[in-house]
Structure 1
């Protein structure tokens, strides 16, 4: 029951229809990678399971007909490893004990509030990832076993000092037809030092105290015969345990198979520790050179434009190919293999109809797809350079790289989600501050003045109430705008900057202020938010434009200010010739609630900063050539 690395399908079973759908909705809301379906009985759940791929089941316990544990038993008969989470309001130690004994993956008691669904989503994701990781490890181990079974030299894998696996060559070397005859034997009992070596060095190699060292030894066969051999040992993980692989050769030379195994094991450790895609690609390139045995190789990863872009390559390949190509959809062998998703060795690329360069010095290539993420390509100037061992080893490396790329993608999604949640928390704190303090002050003023009016107060009370209400309206308007600008931007369009500025100038009360548009630049932006940004900057310049005004974000200043829109490298600038902003205050003006005037809401420039961040732009506040304020926006997609 497999899917793409980040996608998870969940079946939610609860006899209350609205609750089944509610659980599914909340799971999708708390984890964008989850696709959930709700059904109202165990019978429906089993039917759904027979017809659809499911990665995890979330089930109630107390259901008519078939309860949750009986449902679990039926599911286990179909899919023994499928994660099954009991999500029930029937909480008791006895039920929890029964559920664990029955083999439930997790047990969560329903409580009031939405927090339980965040917990449930995390438990679902963790359960599915554990199953997938176990399956990937099993597949990698099976691939490794295939390599070992095909090896011409004997290979013994020991865990805790006893033999856990012996390949056919080792079985034959020790005088048996079945490697299982060697299992559970103490490894050092099968090996003794030769006349030229002491016991300690031999034992150190066999027990992996000296990884990858090679010594001459004598092995004792099951028929009590003595054979002179050389043994190379290195660390390995086998069936989840740390162990030792010992490669036994009757030839007095370093063992190539052992070298490959060592390189593959080390590459896997590095891949799992990588945190960015390009790092995974670099490790893969180096590992391919070691494991496949050819230096000329490169990793191409799918870019944002849907092309296979080269992100890492060996020096040997760059000597063969001056300009390593980016593969567009449908124009090459590489793209064909990537779409097909199967490891492919091409004996002579010049004989292929879709070879990208018929004059290439490269003759044979090994294509190793990396799932949805890209492809690794190893090349040779020799026809038919790749054998079955290369293909098997390459397939193992590619599987490990794909798993590492999926892990990087998940980590990036988690970091993005954490940043988003942090930003949401910041906005919630801002809202709480406004509601508890900034809005309460004018509200108290309005209430007090209204009470005075009831007691026969004069017109000055009416004016004070009106000012308080205006203040509250301004705070609410900016607060709502601030909330909207914090959302991510998903769609942009090409906008003529001059046109957008002139549209904004027409809707802002600019009095006798002047506008100079010194740009014909077109940029990619969310046009609505771009105009909000420009309107805030224009209003800010006009309201603080007098030479005696202290700039905040709402002080009504002079009307003779000139606002200029101009180009800067990689973006645009909005500047004015007003009194400017002291250098010590330039970072503070972007903070929410910062205002130096009694009428300012303190949100105007915060909104500007958030809109810039949402676009991926950098905003810098400096001094204009006339001594006023200059806001520069860089990192803009300029057309």
Structure 2
């Protein structure tokens, strides 16, 4: 038996390699003769022999074989059965039936079972030349078909093979996927099935013309060609045609490329080019060399040339510093480096002096990244000088004013607020914009209800200019603002926006209240001067006249008493005027310390002080607080304990201790801290003040004593109001009077 040949299955005719032939015959002499003649007739043929079909099947699985040459009549397994077994595993392996017993029936069966060729053994050596030629042709065709199959399966595009009549003979898997067909649905069908119906007629004519002059040529590079999928959808294709000669005749190989993605890229490129050349923005492309930190202008569009007055020839290929100078070019380079470092688009406004265009340019640049490297920057820039100047003017009008200014829609939603308004409330813009104005923090603690603001907004939205004084919350506490809303209309007169404005009038309102209070005091002073001073003055004048006539000392005593009365009134009026002025500067004062000092001036041996002020402290003017306590203590001592059932608010200042001692029975004065509001009280154990008289005790001139001026408690009220406090009268625990000074109705200043 001959050794197995070492062929590789490649094309022996073209590559010079051998053709491996497996010879099978149950007669060893015939087998040896056949193998020898084949190798002698064709030097590329190398044979392997076996006398058993079963053994041959084993060799097919182990050794490379390009063609099988088998006898027909063999024991155990004849040639046709052997052919069936080979075809069950190797459907296209060349198989030549070389038999000594020939008949048309055997030939017919062999052909129907897929034999490659059928030869009958004859006498003479000529038959082996025919056999060798048959083997070579079969192996060559098989290898060509194998290469074609390999090409069909490995090609990254669709391939369809058709005959000259346009009938499809072969398709690859890629084409099936492209068009959505199974292989069996296409074999035998006209090639036009893969085209839109509108092209069928023209394609038949083109195909027939190609058959007349077949050569390899591309199609679709300059024309739009379309394929049609099974589902009816169409897609752009490019086709290359190539004729091949097969045993069956001329066939046409069509390579079909789906160029949908390429068309999209081409369309995008064309669109980008159109935009680049025709957009109203100035566009530019920068070449980037990251390694050398170098940036050069690569391309600019016509608008860039027009806007800057710089031509492409002047710009392209040049560095930024060479074009714009070291200072401006350096600033531009900083932006380019930032974009490269961040690897994302950035925007900025740059200052570039361009004649007739203005210096402010809004620029956006983006990196072009290829394989992880920034190769280029693409940018767009537009002149925003006019916009920038409008923004500066807008800022000057909107943010540099002392007024609170904003912008609302017609539903009251705040769209903008200026810096003055935000700083007033110590707010940031995001905390107020996009909110209804009644939900903003300016109105969080104020007395203004949401209904009030909604009403103002509704009236303004209807076209009315509205104005009101509102209480708002500022960073430094509650404030009063002069608030207005002006409707903004479009060209048709429809209200489209609302302009809210406000001015802080807290100080003005305080001055108004102070002026009103001062005017009231002036009126009271005028009444005192016109009435209270006039009476003792008339007494003095009349008594003096009588004394001159009669010389009676009693008349002169009345003059002296009248003068004393006037002097006391004048002193109290001056004290009232001084204490009525608003307190501007205060200090933190320990109430117990002041109380001890004042009690020393009022103290009598017949009065007792009970203090329960603890560590209570108050912000006050020390002198005026002392005066307030002195008047309240003197009043309590004078009317405490067994005093008759009458009260007076007469003394502007405390009487001398001796005077109090002479007139006052034993009394207990209690000073303590209020239980609820922040403040303190002075209470006595006297007869108290009737409820109906409590509203009058603080009025100027109210007194039940012939010696009093009626200003003592009036001065107490004046001092309290000058501090922003209130003073009120209640019953004490012992039934006497309790004067309460409320420093803060909502809290406590207790240390």
Rg larger in structure: 2
Q: TM-score, structure 1 length as denominator?
A: 0.39
Structure holding more strand per residue:
2
Structure of higher RCO (CA pairs closer than 8 Å, 6+ residues apart): 1
TM-score (norm 2): 0.34
